[in-house]
Amino acid sequence: MTVVAARTPFWRKPSVLPGFGLSMGLTLLYLGFIVLIPLAAMILRAAGLSWDEFVGVVTDPRALAAYRLSFGASFVAAVVNIVFGVLTAWVLVRYEFPGKRFVEGLVDLPFALPTAVAGIALTALFAENGWVGQILAKAGLKVAFTPLGVVIALVFIGLPFVVRTVQPVLQDLDKEVEEAAASLGASRLQTFRHIILPAILPAALTGFALAFARALGEYGSVIFIAGNLPMKSEIVPLLIIIKLEQFDYAGAAAIGVAMLTAAFVLLFMINLLQRWSRSRIGAF
């Protein structure tokens, strides 16, 4: 073992276990070929454009309209999900009701159901002759093939995130703290507002950000219900595909890079949120 220790490079601690070279080498090779090199290829492709050309592509009116829709719809959908996600997490943790286990399992459906299937199902449901669409049409609300349809699809796709981030935090919440608030005269609503909400907020925001990030890139479930009219109901991922179909590879790469940047910013924010969340929970 001393031989191993003596040969251990400075950047890792010695260990009696074998296989570091093999497993690490395999990991890096695979990561490099599958993820890093192709991603670099896209950035390289976008870099083929001059700065002005790049700015021109990513800020042309059609692209701007697509950003507005993608960001706007993702935001609205994430707001819906943070409200109903917290509600659902609350109900699942605190109450007993028939079918609870069924709901518990079904929450993860959007992770398991192929997006194309979700897309056509939601379209059938919300089309003007669909089960839900009929009712909404009577109320004068048109959902399918409008930006509202995009929101519906994105609510579906982001549904599990808030529930799954808030649930464990609610579970670990100390009931004595709520009892303390009650004994000091707080109403149930005041206890929720001043005691419970601050405790679950970081987790809820993390779920919100995850749902938002997922919605931004979502394609399959949206395109069936969206209508896909340029400037009106065209999401950013679709714009990339349209550019590809027109053989505008550089343009597709440029918009891809813009989206990737947005995704990284979100990822960074989610990391900060999770750190905040942990510091809150781990206080003592």
Partner 1 sequence: MHIDVRNVTKRFDSFTAVRNLTLDVRQGELVALLGPSGSGKTTLLRIIAGLEHANEGQILFDGDDAVARHVGERRVGFVFQHYALFRHMTVFENVAFGLRVAPAERRMSNTDIKNRVMSLLSLVQLDRLAARYPSQLSGGQRQRVALARALAIAPLVLLLDEPFGALDAKVRKELRRWLRRLHDDMGLTSIFVTHDQEEALELADRVVVMNQGAIEQIGTPDEVYNTPATPFVYEFLGNVNKIPCTIANGAVNLWGLAVTAETVDGAPVPAGSAAGFAYVRPHDIEIVAEGTQRAIVRHVGAAGPTARLELEVAGVHAPVEVQLIRQAFLDLGLKVGQTVAITARAARVFPARS
Partner 2 sequence: MAPKRTFAPIAESPKIRIGLVLLSLIYILFFLVLPVVVVFTEAFSRGFAHYLEAVTEPDAQAAIKLTLLVAAIAVPANVVFGVAASWAIAKFDFVGKSFLITLIDLPFSVSPVISGLIYVLMFGGQGLIGPWLDEHDIQIVYAVPGIVLATVFVTFPFVARELIPLMQEQGAEEEEAARSLGASGWQTFWRVTLPNIKWGLLYGVLLCNARAMGEFGAVSVVSGHIRGFTNTMPLHVEILYNEYNLPAAFAVASLLAFLALVTLVAKGILELRYGHELAPVHH
**Which residues are within 8 A (CB) of 273 and not within 5 positions of it... i.e. 6 or more apart?**
202, 205, 206, 209
**Which residues are within 8 A (CB) of 24 and not within 5 positions of it... i.e. 6 or more apart?**
none
How far is it, in rounded angstroms, from Cα 127 to Cα 91? 31
CB of 55 to partner 2, least distance (A): 20
Residue keyed to tokens 């707001």: 79
Residue 185 interface partner, choices partner 1, partner 2, none, CB cut-off 5-8 Å depending on type: partner 1
CB of 85 to partner 1, least distance (A): 21
Would you say 56 or 186 has its CB closer to partner 2?
186
* Interaction mask 152-191, partner 1, x per CB under 8 A: ----------------------x-xx-xxxxxxxxx--x-
Residue keyed to tokens 């518990």: 104
CB of 69 to partner 2, least distance (A): 14
Question: Is residue 156 involved in binding partner 2 (CB under 8 A)?
Answer: yes
Residue type, 210: L
Structure tokens of 221? 């479930």
Residue type, 192: F
Radius of gyration (Cα) for the chain, nearest Å?
A: 24
**Dihedral over alpha carbons 250, 254, 259, 261 (to 10 degrees):** 130
Structure tokens of 60? 């042309």
Which position among 68, 188, 194, 278 is part of the footprint of partner 2 (CB under 8 A)?
188
CB of 20 to partner 2, least distance (A): 5
- With CB under 8 A as the rule, give the number of residues binding partner 1: 20
Would you say 5 or 109 has its CB closer to partner 2?
109
* Interaction mask 75-104, partner 2, x per CB under 8 A: ---------x--xx-xx--xx-x-x-x-xx
Question: Is residue 108 involved in binding partner 1 (CB under 8 A)?
Answer: no
Distance separating the N- and C-terminal Cα atoms of the chain? 41
Residue keyed to tokens 């454009």: 49
CB of 179 to partner 1, least distance (A): 5
Angle between helix 197-217 and helix 249-281 axes, rounded to 10 deg: 170
Residue 61 interface partner, choices partner 2, partner 1, none, CB cut-off 5-8 Å depending on type: none
CB of 89 to partner 2, least distance (A): 9
Would you say 202 or 256 has its CB closer to partner 2?
256
Q: 230 in helix, strand or coil?
A: coil
Closest CA relative to residue 233, chosen from 153, 141, 158, 159: 153
Residue 198 interface partner, choices partner 1, partner 2, none, CB cut-off 5-8 Å depending on type: partner 1
* Interaction mask 23-52, partner 1, x per CB under 8 A: ------------------------------
What residues numbered 193-212 form the site for partner 1, per CB under 8 A? 194-195, 198-199
How far is it, in rounded angstroms, from Cα 148 to Cα 17? 56
Question: Is residue 224 involved in binding partner 2 (CB under 8 A)?
Answer: yes
How far is it, in rounded angstroms, from Cα 141 to Cα 138? 7
Give me the residues that bind partner 1 (CB under 8 A), please: 174, 176-177, 179-187, 190, 194-195, 198-199, 280, 283-284
